[in-house]
Chain A
Amino acid sequence: MSCCAPGVEAGGSIGGAPSRQEVLLGSRDLGEGLRQTDLSVPGMHCGACIRAIEKGLGKLPGVEQARVNLSTRRVAVKWRGEAAPPLIETLDGLGYSAHLFDMDADRDDPELSRLIRALAVAGFASMNIMLLSVSVWSGADAETRQAFHWISAALAFPTLLYSGRIFFRSAWSVLKNGRTNMDVPISIGISLAFGLSLYDTLHNGEHAYFDASVTLIFFLLVGRTLDYVMRERARAAVRGLVRLAPRGATVLKQDGSRDYLPVDQIEPGMRLLLMAGDRVPVDATVADGASEIDRAIATGESEPQQVGPGSLVQAGTLNLTGPLTVTVTARAESSFLAEMVRLMEAAEGGRARYRRLADRAAQFYSPVVHATAFLTFLGWMAATGDWHRAIGVAIAVLIITCPCALGLAVPIVQVVAARRLFENGIMVKDGSGIERLAQADTVAFDKTGTLTLGTPRLATYEGISDALAVAAAMAAHSNHPLSRALAVAVGGGRAVVVSDIVEHAGFGLEARHGGEVYRLGRANWALNENTEARASGTVLARNGRLLASFQFEDALRSDASETVSILRGMGMRLAILSGDEETAVAATAGRIGIDDHRAGLLPAEKVAGLQALAREGRKVLMVGDGLNDAPALASAHVSMAPASAADIGRNAADFVFLREPLGAVPLAMKVAREAGRLVRQNFGLAIIYNAIALPIAIAGYVTPLVAALAMSLSSVLVVANALRLKAGKTPRAERRAASARQARHGHSAALAR
């Protein structure tokens, strides 16, 4: 009883649920016979879900403890025993679809806790120093002021070392490479502010900037931590998606016994058993059996392909209808998948060359500010000859032009944008993706699984309506995509009881109903020879005579045409790069109105197509899902993938959208463009602020109080401006209201029990 609508509508679960052996293989040994399995359960989202899942799993024999983590939509189950308890089946029974969570992908995150600790220390120190500083500014006598300065120094020094090292380290690592980024001026600013204040404290000076130094660290760390948390959340959501690459396979040994081995232990020459619904783990040739192979995710071909003994099957394809015995021809490292990884690595150069906006700004900013400070020093030296006074003013210039506003200008906008995208089911992998998306002027779509859902849909149907019910009842027993499409099209209308169902791999289904033999499948198999000429494609036949024929089409995503016209309205050039056949691609292109389409492309040719566009000066957004799209996703200026994409495609893409509609593409683009505009405004604000503050600083009128006020004010302005981001907001408010209604409904139902 899933109380809540699932939040993730991935494009259907492809392939069967992981076997118990796979659960065992995916579990972690905690010692003393205790094992832990992490499951991703995207559908849970309220208190009732927690209880249902924890109670349901806790009752299973062998399960020691089941603990739900609602934030990450995950369950950690600790269990004992030789075989894994039926965890996924149990969750299925409760109404939650679950899948194994990849342990390797989820190690402890030292970076986040380092940031949070640094932030906590900086927060503690800045509050206390500010407290002391306010006392000084409100007129403490000389002796108290001196004591407070010393306490401030004692607090600021460890904070500088502990929290400041995040900036120092980053600044040092780019300086070593002869480049500069925003952390360089930040590091110089905070170190100099501290150094001068310490000097003044030693010499009983009146002013100390310890508060400026430490609050600067604090503000910047807030921005940085938020940025990191947001990206980490998006990454976690992407990691939680169904893994499409199998973890292992059933190996048939010489002596006839079976063994489930992890993929990396599968060697060429081994014989594997693939059941219907299994994904092919490594490249292999069929030794025995007949079936159909769905290659949509591997090559973009939408039509299943028939295979028999001798046929080659590629890693990543899906065995649809019958069991197959295959002979392995390549290890996992040299399979089709590995070939894609190599192509990706070769293609990745372009994106690595992109320099982030903040770094480009820093490149311009640092020399100007540092030169200004130096000139100020020279000017004051010439005018007064008092070198201490001159250094004091020069450092005040550095502090007042402090990169606080500038250091927050980009990350805070990206945090708001990423948050907005997250609420709309779009995951951003990294901030520079938002910047690059705002520049895109061309969109290249893959067809199968991107413009279309990659699953067929019943288009037309000819025959009597009773026949449809029989066909649906038969189809309900098969995993074949066409059968599923039939079952979905008819829905749970009238139940017809059919018996003795047999699936003939590569041909269709045979069943008995009312004493007669029905066949659903290929026309030339289902029909008697004399009627063969009358129909083609998929038919339903009774005793060899045609009852109905069905035409299927690859279903477009619900709003594909609309999305195309929106994108065109935004001034984008559109293209389709597909690995599917010309006719299928042309049909889809015609329906949604994209003229520029290319079919039958190999992965490398897709990359070449993108590179050709790039040479024309185009910045291309690639939207694709297949294994064959992964190199293109990596080589495009910016890329997006649906949640149903192949694992490496998802990892290569900058954005992953979890909901079905293709509207995610223009929405992400709008958010990215508006974010770009806000970033530019923020830079503008920072420049205006500097134009006002700089002369005051150069004239020597900046006291620590003025510096603290100016810095806080400019930071608040920049943050407030970032919060103005409007794109993607209205639907959120509506959806929140809707989900609140739903949640209330679900809760009351749960409480009534």
Chain B
Amino acid sequence: MSGSLLILVPLALLLGGVALGAFFWSLRSGQYEDLDGAAERILLEDEEDEQGDKPHPDDVANKID
């Protein structure tokens, strides 16, 4: 097995592993809970200024329980 493979193969596995870990993380943090909604929300403008007395939604929760 040549020298370049010694670096490249573990590197490929590592990158794949990172992607897998990222997927697990996104799954656990509930990012796949509402795919249709996410597709629509990107078109909505942020109008948080209108309700200045309300805390920013990010502060209240985006935690999926």
Contacts and interface: CB of A to CB of B under 8 A. Distances in A.
B37 interface: yes
Interface in A47-83: 47, 50-51, 55, 58-59, 64-65, 67-72, 78
Contacts of B2: 144
Given A120-B23, A131-B12, A70 B57 contact: no
Contact of A143 (B1, B61, B65): B1
Contacts of B37: 50, 68-71
Q: Could you say which interface size class chain A belongs to? A: 20 to 34
A678 B27 CA distance: 34
A58 B51 contact: yes
A536 interface: no
Interface in B14-60: 16-17, 19-20, 23-24, 27, 33-37, 40-41, 43-44, 47, 51, 54-55, 57, 60
A158 to B, nearest CB: 11
Contacts of B65: 30
B13 interface: yes
B24 A69 contact: no
Contact of A120 (B9, B12, B20, B40): B20
A128 B33 contact: no
Contact of A50 (B33, B41, B57): B41
A65 B43 contact: no
Interface residues of B: mostly helix, strand, loop or mixed? helix
Interface in A151-183: 151, 155
B7 interface: no
Nearest to B19: A124
Contacts, number: 68
A113 interface: yes
Contacts of A147: 1, 5
Contacts of B16: 124, 127-128
Nearest to A113: B27
Given A78-B60, A124-B17, A71 B35 contact: yes
Interface residues of B, number: 30
A47 B41 contact: yes
Nearest to A74: B34
Contacts of A67: 57
Nearest to A66: B57
Interface of B: 1-2, 5, 9, 12-13, 16-17, 19-20, 23-24, 27, 33-37, 40-41, 43-44, 47, 51, 54-55, 57, 60-61, 65
Given A71-B36, A121-B20, 14 more contacts: A47-B40, A50-B40, A50-B41, A55-B51, A69-B37, A71-B34, A78-B60, A78-B61, A120-B20, A120-B23, A120-B24, A124-B16, A128-B12, A128-B13
Closest 6 A/B residue pairs (Cβ): A70-B37, A47-B40, A70-B36, A69-B34, A71-B36, A124-B20
